[in-house]
Amino acid sequence: MSEIISGNLTDAQQIRSVVDTWMKASKEGDLPTIMNLMTEDVIFLTPGNAPMQRQDFEVATKTVTSKVKIEGYPEIQEITITGDLAICWNKLEIAITPTDGAPAVKRSGTTLSIFRRGEDGKWRIWRDANMLGPASKL
């Protein structure tokens, strides 16, 4: 891993914690925790889809939570922090395994997330561009 961090190390550690908590909550199907990790005005960008807002994300996640298990494996490549904004890009692999026994769908690629520090001092995802495509291995 060739990681570059610029900015306050404590802030970078908090960004890492958000990423780790997101992955753990996704695996556990813990939507309330995931929702706490994003701003009210968050926007998600994915290939071929319209931008997704917070409410859209919540509805989509509720629809699939009982139908799949999600496991993610991020490798943070860079965190850059300036003021109350932070940029983080990851190499990410995920496996989406249907609970009905169907084969897992595996995706991999890069993500670019912009975090914003709230008035409470906590970092949350504000913008996220997910460029995952089919993965040949995981």
CA atoms within a 13 Å half-sphere pointing along the CA-CB vector of 33:
14
Write down the pLDDT at residue 138.
47
Q: What's this model's pTM, rounded to 2 decimal places?
A: 0.89
Mean pLDDT per block of 10 residues along the chain (138 residues) reads: 59 95 95 97 95 96 92 95 96 95 94 97 96 73
What does the angle CA 82 – CA 87 – CA 93 come to, to the nearest 5 degrees?
A: 160
Write down the pLDDT at residue 8.
66
List C-alpha distances in Å: 15 to 2, 67, 80, 95, 115: 17, 29, 10, 23, 8
4-134: which CATH number, 3.40.50.300, 3.10.450.50, 1.25.40.10, 1.10.1660.10?
3.10.450.50
Write down the pLDDT at residue 1.
40
Tokens read off for 100: 């009905």
